[in-house]
């Protein structure tokens, strides 16, 4: 029995098909990521799995319980942190935790060990109203509340969106600790670099899954040589590469521009020669290994060309 199993699930809102026949399974104790931009269908999947929304078609189950027939049982054993902050803003930190514990028929003391590493950071502010907390602290409180009944499966919908790079890093460290407690975690994020924090990921776009695998194996599917190119003027470089007759894709990437070529065999010197012929002084051209974001864009482009 898989903790999460989704098979050919569909969901439409009126004429808009939000989830277009998606299938995936999450193994016990796995940290599984749904990676994709807004509108990919991530939240709809979360709502279906947490029994807040009925699927139009297909099968979906959590811990072997069907999301429609078994919704009461599912609600008792899963923890859910929705994308939008949904704790009671006018209750204090402590009141929120106590409230969620009582709703699930338990107490804060009974499961304190599990939430301690996270909640202890909030305890100095336990009398503060939840609405007055900083973004990073709200996120910690929401996670504490989602964990208070020791769920077997944890659903985290975009927990790091709009949060700064430091808080994001800390949040992932917390998730790795929870994984050691053997809690199965489904997490979504629009930040491609966070894919590497997951055991396996599904890359999602427009209601569909582009690819499912470990981040490492997904990047291995990138089927062309990737070059990182740097010159003094990035905008000019992008224009020059775009107008290069062999250019396949040209994408800015931090301080570099990532480039793939249409030719079967191509050497750094050939690209350098071209740039020099256009008056670029001292271009840097190096072959690099693609990351998840490169791969995601390539899959997106292939999808679009296919259509």
Please report how close the Cβ of residue 136 comes to other proteins at its closest, in angstroms.
6
Nearer to other proteins by C-beta: 177 or 242? 242
Task: State the DSSP code for 83.
Answer: S
Nearest distance from residue 65's CB to other proteins, in Å?
A: 31
Long-range contacts made by residues 250-259, C-beta under 8 angstroms, separation at least 24? 251/294, 251/297, 253/228, 253/293, 253/294, 255/230, 256/228, 256/229, 256/230, 257/228, 257/229, 257/230, 258/226, 258/227, 258/228, 258/229, 258/288, 258/290, 258/294, 259/226, 259/227, 259/228, 259/229
Phi, psi of 150 (to 5 degrees): 50, 65
Distance, in Å, from the CA atom of 242 to the CA atom of 223, rounded to the nearest integer, reads: 20
Name the minimum Å distance from CB 167 to other proteins: 7
Q: Residues interacting with other proteins, by CB under 8 A?
A: 36-40, 133-137, 161-167, 169, 190-192, 205, 234-235, 238, 251-255, 293, 296-297, 300-301
- Minimal distance, residue 117 CB to other proteins, in Å: 18
User: In the complex with other proteins, which residue's Cβ is closer, 106 or 161?
Assistant: 161
* C-beta separation of 4 from 25 below 8 A: yes
Q: How far is the CB of 191 from other proteins (least distance, A)?
A: 8
Of the pair 97, 192, the CB lying nearest other proteins is at 192
- 160 or 184: whose CB is closer to other proteins? 160
29 vs 136 by CB, closer to other proteins: 136
């Amino acid at each position: 029995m898989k903790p999460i199993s989704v098979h050919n699930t569909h969901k439409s809102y009126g004429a808009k098909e939000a989830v277009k026949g998606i299938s995936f399974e999450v193994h016990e104790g796995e940290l599984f990521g749904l990676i994709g931009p807004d509108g990919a269908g991530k939240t709809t999947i979360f709502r279906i799995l947490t029994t807040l929304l009925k699927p139009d078609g297909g099968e979906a189950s959590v811990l072997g319980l069907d999301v429609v027939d078994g919704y009461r049982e599912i609600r008792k054993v899963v923890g859910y942190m929705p994308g939008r902050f949904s704790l009671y803003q006018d209750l204090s930190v402590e009141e929120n935790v106590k409230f969620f514990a009582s709703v699930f028929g338990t107490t804060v003391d009974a499961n304190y060990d599990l939430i301690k590493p996270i909640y202890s950071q909030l305890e100095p502010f336990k009398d503060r109203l939840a609405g007055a907390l900083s973004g990073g602290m709200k996120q910690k409180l929401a996670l504490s509340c989602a964990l208070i009944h020791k769920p077997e499966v944890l659903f985290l919908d975009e927990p790091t969106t709009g949060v700064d790079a430091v808080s994001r890093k800390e949040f992932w460290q917390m998730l790795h600790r929870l994984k050691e407690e053997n809690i199965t975690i489904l997490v979504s994020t629009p930040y491609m670099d966070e894919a590497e924090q997951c055991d396996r990921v599904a890359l999602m776009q427009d209601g569909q899954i582009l690819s499912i695998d470990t981040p490492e194996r997904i990047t291995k599917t990138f089927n062309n040589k990737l070059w990182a190119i740097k010159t003094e003027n990035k905008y000019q470089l992008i224009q020059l590469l775009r107008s290069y007759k062999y250019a396949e894709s040209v994408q800015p990437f931090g301080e570099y521009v990532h480039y793939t070529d249409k030719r079967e065999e191509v050497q750094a010197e050939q690209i350098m020669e071209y740039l020099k012929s256009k008056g670029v002084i001292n271009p840097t051209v190096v072959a690099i290994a693609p990351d998840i974001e490169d791969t995601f864009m390539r899959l997106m482009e292939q999808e679009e060309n296919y259509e």
